[in-house]
Amino acid sequence: MMKKVYKLASFGYGGMAGIHIDKVLNKYDRVDVKGVYDINPERNKAAAEKGYKAYASKEELLNDPEIDIVLVATTNECHKSLCIEALQHGKHVLCEKPATMTASDLEDIIAVAKQTGMVFTVDQNRRVNKDFIAMKRCVEQGLLGDVYVIESRVEGSRGLPAGWRCEKEKGGGMMLDWGVHLIDQIMYMIPEKVTNVFCKMYSIHYPEVDDNFRLTLTFESGLTAHIEVSTNNYIRHPRWYVLGTEGTLQIDDWDAVGKIVKPITQQNQWGVDIVTTKAGPSKTMAPRDESTVETIPITAPEDVVDDLTSVYNPLVAKLDGESELTITPEQVLRVIQVMEASFESAETGKAIQTSI
Ligand SMILES: NC(=O)c1ccc[n+]([C@@H]2O[C@H](COP(=O)([O-])OP(=O)(O)OC[C@H]3O[C@@H](n4cnc5c(N)ncnc54)[C@H](O)[C@@H]3O)[C@@H](O)[C@H]2O)c1
């Protein structure tokens, strides 16, 4: 039997909606894009020129009985009200990240999704980034022993994009833009509660918002995750740096190329215990003899498809009644709670005790 093709309309037709609609959904046979409504008439015109319906108003889109799924891909401050209205009009909703700017706003959306019985999910699409999956698999296979530190960094030197990402009211800043992805990756990977959040935010060139931040999350087991986003770094760190009891992992960039270096044995194999180094006589900081370690190369996982089908496939499977969502509102709520604790920590200068 032919499976239903779900009709989608989008609030917003900016950069990200364009990626959903023009780059992914036009090749995806289970979702058909009918139209968009953007408050910017130029963007509505651009949609019409591509053959999509340009709705004249928000209400016209919401009241279109053909639409099954509403994509909310506007600036962040509009997500809450548009998601709630779409759910109340009997539409399933895929919202761009960050779903909301506060946890209570997301709780309100979740309550309406429950009341209406409509499906609500969020585009946390970076769970399938190859660099992340490569790191996650190495940790899960135990190649590093017990992992106690994960460092995740995204760094550039060209500042923020112009426009709303520099405006606090619209949900600008790097915590809401990149932080939400990097926190989601770590929380998706570590099945433990976050017990402590400490964050330092910087407004180096953009006074209204955080253009750089450094966040430390502590999990129940004591494992810490350091997450940093910078827009003013002229020398970059590796994308991932992970410490385990039996080795160290480094992945340099998005192409997921990296290595694990681990000792062949924990026994002393280098003979002389104290070595004269440029830092003076030392055991702890003296370099290791290469013959005492093995290096395991890391390459990009070939079985991983890193595109938005990682978000649409589970949504469609849920709508078909075949399986549950993979990106659940409850998971997303925990991420927003951690972001909220991060803002509180940055404002107060204190570490925030949590049970998230
Ligand atoms: N998942 C990802 O990897 C990813 C990447 C980029 C952006 N995003 C998210 O996508 C969203 C949009 O970002 P963008 O980069 O496309 O921004 P953008 O500025 O390119 O596009 C936003 C569009 O929304 C329109 N808009 C604003 N308020 C509206 C409203 N009330 N109704 C209808 N249209 C409205 C604007 O006119 C604009 O065309 C943001 O939430 C952002 O965080 C996600």
CA gap 137, 155 in Å, rounded: 23
Q: Which of 23-37, 157-171, 270-284 is predicted least confidently?
A: 270-284
CA gap 354, 218 in Å, rounded: 9
Which of 267, 225, 261 is CA-nearest to residue 246?
261
**pLDDT at residue 292 in the model:** 87
**pLDDT at residue 269 in the model:** 62
User: How far, in Å, is the centroid of ligand 1 from the Cα of 302?
Assistant: 31
- Ligand 1, atom 4: closest residue by C-alpha: 16
- Whether the per-residue pLDDT at 272 is higher than 80: the answer is no
Determine the residue of 13, 16, 81, 105 to mutate for testing ligand 1's pocket, defined as the one with the most ligand atoms within 8 A of the Cβ atom.
16
- List domains and CATH numbers for the chain: 6-122 (3.40.50.720), 127-257+299-305+337-353 (3.30.360.10)
User: How far, in Å, is the centroid of ligand 1 from the Cα of 293?
Assistant: 48
Does 12 sit in the ligand 1 pocket, CB within 6 Å? yes
Burial of 7 (0-12, 13-18, 19+ CB in 10 A): middle
Report pLDDT digits (tens) over 10-63.
Answer: 999 999 999 999 988 988 999 999 999 999 999 999 999 999 999 999 999 999
**Runs of H (alpha helix) within 26-102:** 41-49, 58-62, 79-88
Q: Which of 16-25, 146-155, 279-288 is predicted least confidently?
A: 279-288
- Ligand 1, atom 7: closest residue by C-alpha: 16
CB 111 within 8 A of CB 105: no
User: Which atom of ligand 1 has the smallest separation from the CA of 58?
Assistant: 32
**Runs of H (alpha helix) within 69-126:** 79-88, 103-116
Report pLDDT digits (tens) over 63-112.
Answer: 999 999 999 999 999 999 999 999 999 999 999 999 999 999 999 999 99
- Residue 216 sits at φ, ψ, to 5 deg, of -120, 125
**pLDDT at residue 284 in the model:** 82
User: How far, in Å, is the centroid of ligand 1 from the Cα of 249?
Assistant: 35
Strand-pairing partners, residue 259, are 250, 297
Does 342 sit in the ligand 1 pocket, CB within 6 Å? no
User: How far, in Å, is the centroid of ligand 1 from the Cα of 119?
Assistant: 21
Does 16 sit in the ligand 1 pocket, CB within 6 Å? yes
Tokens (6 digits) for 25: 């959904």
**pLDDT band at 270; cut points 50, 70, 90:** low
User: How far, in Å, is the centroid of ligand 1 from the Cα of 38?
Assistant: 10
- Whether the per-residue pLDDT at 336 is higher than 90: the answer is yes
Determine the residue of 60, 74, 132, 181 to mutate for testing ligand 1's pocket, defined as the one with the most ligand atoms within 8 A of the Cβ atom.
74
The three-class DSSP label of residue 205 is coil
Determine the residue of 21, 61, 96, 127 to mutate for testing ligand 1's pocket, defined as the one with the most ligand atoms within 8 A of the Cβ atom.
96
- Whether the per-residue pLDDT at 291 is higher than 90: the answer is no
**pLDDT at residue 267 in the model:** 67
Burial of 162 (0-12, 13-18, 19+ CB in 10 A): exposed
CB 49 within 8 A of CB 55: no
